[in-house]
Amino acid sequence: MTLIAEDKAKKVLAACRLHHLKLATVESCTGGLIVGSLTDIAGSSDVVECGFITYSNEAKTALVGVPSAMIESYGAVSKPVAIAMAEGGIKHSRADIAVSVTGIAGPGGGSAEKPVGLVHMAVALANRPTLHYEARFGDLGRENVRHATVERALDLLLEAVAKA
């Protein structure tokens, strides 16, 4: 984990503690890096409820309730799916806030419409509108896309908690 991500993760944990929020992650392209960045910090267990690794479309449906018809209509890397993943993270856990990420880290898998580096993120907070963010990091290399996604997801969590 980079020092920047570690600092952001510490801030997320502190903000969630301040607002008495339990947190869940629902991760596809990051494969658990977001929850890992949080649990790398000692004492995070009072905030982190769980992390769902929903790498496959089937896991998105089975673990957090994303409708398979939604995935078929919009594709796994889309705004509706990212929102459904975050909202499903809250519905399928005891968390008050959930962040989701779904994207194309590369090096393959991209298209003209959905290029490598495209990531959709969402943050759901109980009784609040779900926030969505579309990132187009570009083809930075798989590791860099994933780490950029972690940092932006932590930023989104901080923004959402600040509005809580």
Query: Does the pTM of the predicted model rise above 0.85?
Result: yes
| Residue 102 in this model has a pLDDT that exceeds 90 | yes
Mean confidence (pLDDT) of the chain: 96
Which residue has better confidence, 13 or 1?
A: 13
pLDDT digits (tens, 9 = 90+) for 41-91: 999 999 999 999 999 999 999 999 999 999 999 999 999 999 999 999 999
- Of 13-22, 31-40, 106-115, 144-153, the one with minimum mean pLDDT is 106-115
Domains of the chain: 3-162 (3.90.950.20)
Give the model confidence (pLDDT) of 13-55 as tens digits: 999 999 999 999 999 999 999 999 999 999 999 999 999 999 9
More confident residue, 5 or 146: 146
DSSP class per residue in the chain: --HHHHHHHHHHHHHHHHTT--EEEEESTTTTHHHHHHHTSTTGGGTEEEEEE--SHHHHHHHH---HHHHHHH-SSSHHHHHHHHHHHHHTSS-SEEEEEEE--SSS---SSS-TTEEEEEEEETTSPPEEEEEE--S--HHHHHHHHHHHHHHHHHHHHHT-
Using CA atoms, how far apart are residues 94 and 73, in angstroms rounded to an integer?
A: 29
pLDDT for position 36: 97
